[in-house]
Amino acid sequence: MGLIEPEITHQPDGLAQWIAQQLGCAPDEFSLQLVAGDASPRRYYRVTARHGAMTLDTREITSCIAMVSPASENNEAFLHVGSRLSEAGVKTPSVWAQSIRQGWFLLEDFGDQQLLSLLSSASAPQFYKSAFAALLRQISIPCEKAGIPRYDAPRLRTELDVFPEWFLARLLRVEIDESVRQRFAALSECLIGAVLEQPSVWVHRDFHSRNLMVLEEGELGVVDFQDAVIGPITYDPVSLLKDCYIRWPRNQQLQWLDAYFEQIKLFAEEPPSHAGGIASQLADVSTEQCHQWFDLTGLQRHLRVLGVFARLHIRDQKSEYLEDLPLVIEYVREALLLTSGFHDSVADFRGWFESELMPVIRRQPWYRPIDPDGWIN
């Protein structure tokens, strides 16, 4: 999270007084700075002591984060998921004070260093090793009585529908006739089937380089986890390796993916556990099948992301996400190419996407070609 204003005077009424009450000090003993947030309506303020340290319970701290989160953001899920991840050994921000009614939280300060800005071909192997270690801890959490939604067919279908509604109709102004509806419906059913046939695990759902914070000594902290679901085992690897903000060569993606699945299979050698059950489900799954799951799940995710980024631009006036559309489009085209030989619905949709949609996309002011062989950020 980067600072975007030096000091804030227009924070919600009463917020400074509430913070002061939690810290046992006067409001003039700390400063509030708005920090860059995410795609949600949440707002984050860095609370910094003006002189020395502040005391919160028995802790002496120099800063913390005040999160202002409307009720629409499912704040109970934020607390529940954060607690479960922390119990599993995933580093999430500690919640030091909360007011669910107002949607105000004081959180541990993870700093401003997103993983994205530190990634290079030299640094990525160690950082991704740490990221996959966090995922291994996450998927060890039992799915039974998880207290989070399942990524079921209705939810998947609803998410896919943002692609025609927001990307096609509202951003590109493409007419969606009956033939397009039928093509997309057939593709959607194929993708939903591919998602549902995979082993189910805890899924962060946005496990990418902007939601991984680099802490002291290179440890990775995980944020933006409140939308976690029980879903397909390849979903978070897709979010990480087919990241919407940085691209890696295909062979590198698959090397990291294969190494992750090999680590999962080692769970089978441990005492009976949820993780061991996942390993047993993968015992007879070929590498080629894992790759196909990875690509089809990626296609589902990136079609949804195209709709979401278009919606952020049109509805929420967050036009910076237009800059990320070309890479997401390239992921969609790549996945369509890689999987069209296995599924007629994918091949049919790919033909329409390339012949009818790409000419429209290429005329957009935000479009730029993406090098398919290199990595960018």
Contacts with 4 (C-beta within 8 Å, 6 or more apart), sequence order: 34, 35, 36
pLDDT the model gives residue 269: 62
Interior/surface letters 346-362, b for 16+ CB within 10 angstroms, e for the rest: bebbbeebeeebeeebe
For 252-266, letters b (16+ CB in 10 Å) and e give bbbebbeebbeebee
Percent of the chain with pLDDT over 90: 77
pLDDT digits (tens, 9 = 90+) for 244-272: 999 999 999 999 999 999 999 887 566 55
Q: Provide the pLDDT for residue 154.
A: 97
Looking at residue 268, the DSSP 8-state letter turns out to be G
Question: CA 10, CA 45: separation in Å to the nearest integer?
Answer: 11
341-373 tens-digit pLDDT: 999 999 999 999 999 999 999 999 999 998 765
Give the angle subtended at the CA of 195 by the CAs of 354 and 184, to the nearest 5°.
35
- CA dist 37 and 65 (Å) reads 11
pLDDT at 276: 63
Quickly state the pLDDT bin for 4 (edges 50, 70, 90).
Answer: very low
168 vs 185: CA distance, rounded Å: 14
**3-state percent breakdown (helix, strand, coil) of the chain, nearest 5:** 50, 15, 35
Residue type, 11: Q
Span(s) in the chain for CATH 3.30.200: 15-107
pLDDT for 297-342, tens place per residue? 999 999 999 999 999 999 999 999 999 999 999 999 999 999 999 9
Q: What is the per-residue pLDDT for 376?
A: 44
Q: Is domain 15-107 in CATH 3.30.200, yes or no?
A: yes
For residue 266, the model assigns a pLDDT of 84
- Tell me where in the chain the CATH 3.90.1200.10 domain(s) lie: 115-362
The whole-model pTM stands at 0.92
Mean per-residue pLDDT over the chain, rounded: 91
- In sequence order, the β-bridge partners of residue 307 are none
At 6, the pLDDT band (50, 70, 90 cuts) reads very low
Which pLDDT score is estimated for 3? 45
Tell me what the mean pLDDT of segment 9-29 comes to: 85
Judged by DSSP in three states, 89 sits in coil
Give dist(CA 326, CA 92) in Å, integer.
31
> Which residue did the predictor score with more confidence, 325 or 57?
325
Torsion of CA 167, 359, 332, 307, to 10 degrees: 0
Coil, strand or helix at 110 = coil
Question: For the chain, what is the radius of gyration of the CA atoms?
Answer: 22
**Average pLDDT of the segment spanning 27-37:** 86
Q: What percent of the chain has pLDDT over 70?
A: 93
The CATH code for residues 115-362 is 3.90.1200.10
What per-residue confidence (pLDDT) applies to 37? 63
More confident residue, 59 or 222: 222
Structure confidence by residue, pLDDT tens digits, 142-176: 998 889 999 999 999 999 999 999 999 999 999 99
Output the pLDDT for position 270. 61
Q: Per-residue pLDDT tens for 65-91?
A: 999 998 878 899 999 999 999 999 999
User: What DSSP line would sit under 116-133, residue for residue?
Assistant: GGG--TTTHHHHHHHHHH
In the predicted structure, residue 46 carries a pLDDT above the cut 80: yes
